[in-house]
Homo-oligomer: A and B are copies of this chain.
Amino acid sequence: MKAYRDLAPSPRIIMTPGPVEVDPRVLRAMSYPVLGQFDPEFTGLMNETMEMLRGVFQTANKWAYPVDGTSRSGIEAVLVSLIEPGDSVLVPIYGRFGYLLAEIARRCGAQVIVMEREWGGVFPQEEIIEGIMRHRPKLVALVHGETSTGRLQPLEGIGRACREQDVLLVVDAVATIGGVEVAVDAWEVDAVIGGTQKCLSIPAGLAPVTYNSRVETILLKRKRIERGLLMEDAEDIKGFVAIRSNYLDLSQLQDYWGPARLNHHTEATTMLYALREGLRLTLEEGLVNRFARHALHESALVAGLLGMGLELFGDPSCKMPMVTCVRIPPGVDGESVRTMLLEHFGLEIASSFGPLKGRIWRIGTMGYSCSKRNVLLALGALEAALLRHGVSLPPGEALQAAMDVYAIGSG
């Protein structure tokens, strides 16, 4: 047989909007032997993880657990579990991931109403609230942090408006959880999906979700138990009407995560170890400190980029602290610069999607990757790569500007 070599990934500085570098403590946790899924030690770890997720989501919700898949599996789990074919769903879209919400809702059979905003801005909250009043949908689905454009949608007033109109609010906080305030209860958000491979700095593969009793009420109405688990043939297998997915059915997942411990899938043991350790690191740092860290390194990065004469993309009043979108200088091949950075500096920044493809780079400062060291190394590398691509810029200014933000003295 063909011989495959030992795994030996090169070291990388990952300054993208995810996946980002993983704390060595999380990597270490992943090297522990596995436990059986119903081993009381393992269910104990599951319970602890739920508790920690409540802390990170700033919620008293009973339900906070991961769906076993990457972030969009959590989004689809929430939408497919709530949406019955024909339900109306309002999706305000201001970037790629808004389109994704609309697409998933449509695949769930929803009548989707979209509101669109040019990429680079967000919606004034009143405009969304007006949309809610006008359309009275069953559900509003909204992206909190849109990594495709680097914009952050304010949410504070939208939850209240939804509650008043008896509309459900579902928020995609995949890119923001752990990096900026996501106050699930204070903002009256009904269901939220977080991401692991971004500001929580855990490998991709789980999608933490939380939801309140308004959501649970709907789930319980739609709930079905798998026939192969029943002692009796009580259920009429022919009359089955239920949530359109089995794998992403939150009504079954909560029976697996709750005291019933009803077998559904086999929990992804090692990913759960990673999630637990990543949440533990987040709570040890403290949410307030963690948000401040993200804001600080963003400031230094932005100062450096402006210092080298680059222009940022998008409305600065709604910029995400953990994603900085930079216009590619005219005449420069953005992919060539990215390749130079990866091949020679072992440093990755991101390209972009759809209408922004080839026009901007996206630089992430997320989680474990969000550090002084990384910001300084990235600025130095980018300056050098741009000079090599013939860009005219004031050499040395970028790093001096960033070092000023960090107040790095000379002696």
Q: Please give the residue numbers on chain A whose beta carbons come within 8 Å of chain B beta carbons, in ascending order.
A: 1-2, 4, 7-12, 14, 16, 18-19, 21-22, 27-37, 39-42, 45, 48, 51-52, 55, 68-73, 76, 80, 95-100, 102-104, 106-109, 114, 148, 197, 203-205, 226-231, 237, 240, 242-248, 263, 265-271, 273-274, 276-277, 280, 283-284, 286, 342, 348, 353-355, 357
Contact = CB atoms under 8 A, between A and B. Distances in A.
Contact of A247 (B55, B73, B226): B73
B7 A276 contact: yes
A41 B9 contact: yes
B354 A229 contact: yes
A271 to B, nearest CB: 5
Identify the 3 closest CB pairs spanning chains A and B, nearest first: A96-B228, A205-B268, A99-B228
Q: Most chain-B CB neighbours within 10 Å: which of A37, A95, A228, A357?
A: A228
B36 A348 contact: yes
Nearest to A203: B270
A103 B204 contact: no
Nearest to A4: B280
A70 B70 contact: no
A145 to B, nearest CB: 15
A261 to B, nearest CB: 12
15 contacts: A2-B51, A8-B32, A12-B35, A12-B36, A14-B34, A14-B36, A21-B33, A28-B31, A39-B342, A39-B348, A96-B228, A107-B242, A107-B244, A204-B266, A231-B355
Contacts of A244: 107-109, 244
A226 to B, nearest CB: 6
A21 B27 CA distance: 19
Given A106-B240, A268-B70, A228 B100 contact: yes
B268 A204 contact: yes
Contacts of A271: 203, 205, 268, 270-271
Contacts of A33: 9, 11-12, 21-22, 27
Contact of A245 (B4, B7, B245, B355): B245
Nearest to A79: B246
A9 B106 CA distance: 43
A34 B7 contact: no
Nearest to A286: B1
A16 B36 contact: yes
Contacts of A357: 231
